Amino acid sequence: MEIILEYGTFFLVVACVFGFFMAWGIGANDVANAMGTSVGTRALTLFQAILVACVFEFAGAYLAGGEVTSTIRKDIIDPTILSGSPDLLVYGMLASLLAAGTWLFIASYNGWPVSTTHSIVGAIVGFAAVGISIDSVNWSVVTIIASSWVVSPFVAGSLSFLLFKSVQALILNSGDPFINAKKYVPGYMFLVGFIIAMVTSLKGLKHVGLDFSFQESLISSLVVGLAVAILGVAFLRNIKDIPKPKGDRVFDGVERIFAVLMVITACAMAFAHGSNDVANAIGPLAAVVSIVQTGGEITAESSLPWWILLLGGLGIVAGLMMLGYRVIETVGKNITELTPSRGFAATLAAATTVVLASGTGIPISTTHALVGAVLGVGLARGISSVNAGVVGRIITSWIITLPVGAGLSVVFFYVFKSIFS
């Protein structure tokens, strides 16, 4: 308690710096989930994607990032064990933010799309298991999170494979692709509206007091999907089957239709992503703020000051603008060649996977889902369409995320402990 009272202001400042650094890493790495396919398909240029993502990621993080947050992220740590040693929790959360942020910087610099959730989870597990005790970690939760390495890319990859196969059968390989695109694309527009509304209602609005049940989200999302499909029918009437250049490619009328869907889907996914994943940075930060403000008391929940959300949103935008292009290019260009129709299938499949996970309570990584979805689209065109070397490096980075985050966190934890104890 005495350490908290003596160094409270210092802990707050350092926590804000490390929280911003972690949010910076989220922007540099995880935003590729929303924008990578849009860049890879040429639906948006890299500059346009960064601008769009800055607006919608920040809006999601700040407007729907959270009013109340758990001070112990994901129930990984048993707070009763730490009730008599709040300083250890402060050291651990500072170490976790610095460790996860450091790993995200390394991964982003190398263009590796890794999970920000797994980065912070690995860091918290590391300091808790080594610095406190093995029993302080809820290993059942950790096991479920680790299992998502396989579940999320498999589900998303399977969905994107099936989606793109349906696009091929109904539109691309038909006798008149353009006419069939106008006929069937409103159905896909309904799916986009429905899925994105589900993502937003289940993952993006619960923090602002709108905690919809799955049934309520389902009904409202059906209405949104119908509205999007009706508007889409009116919009498609104005598109002519005239080839137009887009970057280094020429889009025919069919791909121009899917390019519009890509932009809409990317904007909505960026909002939902910002609202959800900013918690990976502000969760540990909020824990430190709560402990310092209460003079060392560890509580289950705490009010989340508006400035913490602002800090997280600004960090995401800064990381995206400074280093986000590397991971965006990996996901959008290096795994397999994408067109708007292929990118649409991948993005919608990833979003669907997030919705299914939200409804069933399974923790997954949006990064893993998106990469799996892109891989599924590539496999739908044949295994030779996939860059096996890039996929291998990505999977390797996934495997080492937890142990690297844990190892760095342990080192930083003991550094902080030795300084202040």
Kindly give, in sequence order, each residue whose CB lies less than 8 Å from that of residue 17, ignoring residues fewer than 6 positions away: none
pLDDT in tens, 368-399: 888 899 999 999 888 888 888 988 988 898 88
The DSSP string of 69-129 is EESSGGG-B-HHHHTT-HHHHHHHHHHHHHHHHHHHHHHHHTT----HHHHHHHHHHHHHH
pLDDT in tens, 121-151: 889 999 999 888 888 888 887 787 777 778 8
Torsional class of 66: left (φ above 0), alpha (ψ -120 to 50), beta (otherwise): left
Task: Say what the pTM is.
Answer: 0.82
- What pLDDT score does 382 carry? 82
Average pLDDT over residues 62-75: 49
What count of other Cβ atoms lies within 10 Å of the Cβ of residue 313?
A: 26
- What pLDDT score does 70 carry? 47
pLDDT in tens, 77-136: 776 777 778 888 899 999 999 999 999 999 999 998 888 888 888 899 999 998 888 888
What are the sequence ranges of the domains in the chain?
A: 2-420
